[in-house]
Amino acid sequence: MSVALFEEHSAMLEAAEDFLAAVRRTPRIQMDELSRKRMRLSSLIRRHRTTEEEFIFGPLMRDGGFVRLPHLETVVQDLMLEKVKYSEHIRNWTPQAIERNWDGYVAACELRLRAFKKILFDEEAQIYQPVLGLKNIQMPRRA
C-alpha cells in the first residue's frame, strides 16, 4: 500500500532525529550504542528503498513516467546525488574517524539531517504526489 511510503518517511525521520539527539548528548554516547542507532536508521532506509521501487520507481519506469512527467527526471537526479552524499558520509565517518573528530561528526550529522529532511519533503511533494495521483491531498510540511 502506498501509505507505507509516508509511514516509512515518518519512521526514518524519527530514527534520524533520535540519532542526532544521541550524538549531541553529554556525556557522549558509547560507540556500540551509536552503531546500533546507525544500523537502525540504515535498515529503515534500505527497507524504504524497496517500498519506493515497488510503488514509485518501478511503475514510473515501466509506464513511461518520465515522458508523462518530464520534470521528475531532474528531481530524481538531484535526489540521487543527495543519496550518494549520504553514502559517502557513512563511508567516511568510520568509528575511528568519529573518535578522532567528534565535533566534526556532530556537525556532519546535523548537515545530513537537514539534507535528509529536504529529500523526504521533495520526494513527497515532487515525486509521490504526481506519481500516486495525490494532488488533492495536503501533505504535511516538515521543518
The string of pLDDT tens digits covering residues 69-103 is 788 888 888 888 988 999 999 999 999 999 999 99
For 50-68, write each residue's pLDDT tens digit. Answer: 998 888 888 777 777 777 7
d(CA 37, CA 64): 38
**Tens of pLDDT along 33-48?**
999 999 999 999 999 9
| Domain chopping of the chain, boundaries | 3-132
**CA 48 to the chain's CA centroid:** 9
How is residue 141 written as a grid cell? 510540511
Q: Is the peptide bond before 27 cis (omega within 30 degrees of 0)?
A: yes
Question: pTM for this one?
Answer: 0.84
Query: How many residues are present in the chain?
Result: 143
